[in-house]
Chains A and B, each alone.
Chain A
Amino acid sequence: MTIQARLFATLREGRGKVIAAELEEGATVADLAARLAISHKDIAILLVGGRDAAMDKILTDGDIVSVFPPVGGG
């Protein structure tokens, strides 16, 4: 299945902004993070389809995963 990973702020360095990742059926957000070499401690905001998600969430084909490091403040 294909997952669209959208990376932001410093997570883009060396990886890019939007990445189409091919993952096995049943893969989780943690698998995606491993594929992109993003360590869990660098993930502060994690959204699947714009809704809060946990690392063990099982992804489905076409999911959009947005990943932010600790940033913010308005």
Chain B
Amino acid sequence: MYGYNGKILRVNLTARTVKVEALDETKARKYIGGRGFGTKMMMDEVDPSVDALSPANKLMIVTGPLTGTATPTGGRYMAVTKSPLTGTIASSNSGGYFGAELKFAGWDAIILEGKASAPVYLNIIDDKVEILDAAPLWGKVLSATTDALEQAHGGKARILAIGPAGERLSLLASIMNDRWRAAGRSGVGAVMGSKNLKAIVVKGSGKVAIANDDALKAAFAVCMTKIKENGVTGTGLPAYGTAVLVNIINENGAFPTNNFQESVFGKAEEISGEALAEKYLKKKDPCYRCPIACGRYCEVDDIKGGGPEYETIWAFGSDCGVSSLKDVIKANYWCNEYGLDTISAGATLAAAMELYQRGLVKKADFGDGPELTFGNADAIVEWTKRMGKAEGFGAKLALGSYRLCDSYGVPELSMSVKKQEMPAYDPRGIVGQGLSYATSNRGGCHVRGYMISPEILGLPEKLDRLDTAGKPLWTKIFQDFTAAIDSVGLCLFTSFAMGADDYAALYNAVCGTSITGAEFITSGERIWNLEKQYNLAAGIGSNQDTLPPRLLKEPIPEGPSKGLVHPLDKVLPEYYSLRGWDAKGIPTKAKLAELGVD
């Protein structure tokens, strides 16, 4: 087989057994790999109504056919499972080097099932797999865990692990790899923690078989030229990382501030990508075979490490009213150490700040911790640590903003969709992005259909961010295209420069197939519909395809987007109809048959 290794590792943690299984080639081709193939395996093996933190849930670490190949950014993997945060299918993507190494070791995916009776970790050296005692690692933060495993297994080992947040079943826990790369969202780290699995160590000595080396070289050259010549991937992201968006989104008046109570942050400049580059950036930190290198490596006081990303700066910065970039970097660091999703962690602190502002949370609730008031820079750092340890009020924070606000009787103050916190773009000022949030199959998320690209950045063409016309179709296409990119094993950021035909050319060269760009996008649509089916079977209906009431009813108070609310009712019906779903947002039998979703 080309592209795929043809082998899946099934680990039953209850029985402590490992099994080698052949990859189902037909299924893999139909759902590509990564997010799509992982969702298909979940559909076939895990009852969608299962308790996400019970041993009956499974965690799948799935690569794509281009993972580990000589393609630009070809190092991604997906953590696919049922989310304990949203109750939907979860698929969290990560870069770094782990995914490629797993391919070199000869595997396409790892299926983790059951629950170990005590903490364990996996050690994979090519086809040799051991389940080892992780008791000495339990409770350790990411750097200490990684150091210890590197010492035991050599510096060349690639390491994926959870931090204390995952061990303590925080619904905001991420799975980390290569120290600070994160499969961040939807609480996938809690699923790993619920299985008593601390880490996976992998070393591989193989190579992915390529169907047509010459065709791959040619397709690679075309893609590299596009990436280098594109302003965003060729110069913007390498120079400033994602943080350059701070000023862009703020100037558009769509930069959520103080838990989305406002949408312009007066001190944006202080936390901007420009300020980060000037003051704290030490070097770029690219993932496997990445010519874009958006990753940042920063140093502040005695802290060093990866990040922060734009979303993180927003979450701990303007959303918490904090203008100290130094403290945002520290909060980011502790998220990486404890294994917390930076978006949800920051946004949950912002929700807690609003609860306190309204007098619902009392000073006594904070114990000896700092008061969670908007703008309190010390508080974001200290409460991130306590959230990671699930200590005191931190235990409530660790469950995310929805459950926190709900416990005070005001779930509407959680700025989330399907209980997952929305990231750093106020949908009231960006119509398509709002539709994308509302319909996302994993709840509030910007990378399920990044409408910021056409609506703000003008890629591939500029759309007026306030128009409703055309937005349902754009959103649908972006969602489908993204699902395919997430499945093939490349980084979504390549899509600023590359089109569907480019991905198809890389895929064909690697796998020896002859799909077209249009077929590539159709595979994405098939995956999107499968995810929707999983969610419906899990009891997450299309009535949850909505936005928090604040965004539908309370106009933005000041700034360039003043007076706007999100016109969801004007775009959602057309979106469903373009999807070939009924008026209630349910995929029709005809649509599922057309796509071959089974």
Contacts and interface: CB of A to CB of B under 8 A. Distances in A.
Does chain A bind chain B? yes
Interface of A: 6, 8-10, 12, 17, 44-45, 47, 49-52, 66, 68-74
A43 to B, nearest CB: 10
A44 B457 contact: yes
A9 B231 contact: no
Given A51-B560, A52-B462, A9 B456 contact: no
B242 to A, nearest CB: 5
B251 A6 contact: yes
A8 B274 contact: yes
7 contacts: A9-B273, A45-B457, A45-B458, A71-B239, A71-B240, A71-B248, A72-B232
Interface of B: 230-233, 235-237, 239-240, 242, 244-245, 247-248, 251-253, 269, 273-274, 294, 309-311, 423-425, 446, 450, 452-453, 456-459, 462, 464-465, 493, 496, 559-561
B560 to A, nearest CB: 2
A66 B244 contact: no
A50 B560 contact: yes
A57 B453 CA distance: 23
Contacts of B493: 73
Contacts, number: 94
B239 A73 contact: no
A12 B462 CA distance: 24
A73 B236 contact: yes
B231 A45 contact: no
A45 B456 contact: yes
B286 to A, nearest CB: 14
B239 A10 contact: yes
Contacts of B242: 73-74
A70 B234 CA distance: 9
Given A73-B237, A74-B446, A50 B251 contact: yes
B560 A73 contact: no
B239 A52 contact: no
A44 B310 contact: no
B279 to A, nearest CB: 15
Given A9-B273, A70-B236, A74-B424, A50 B253 contact: yes
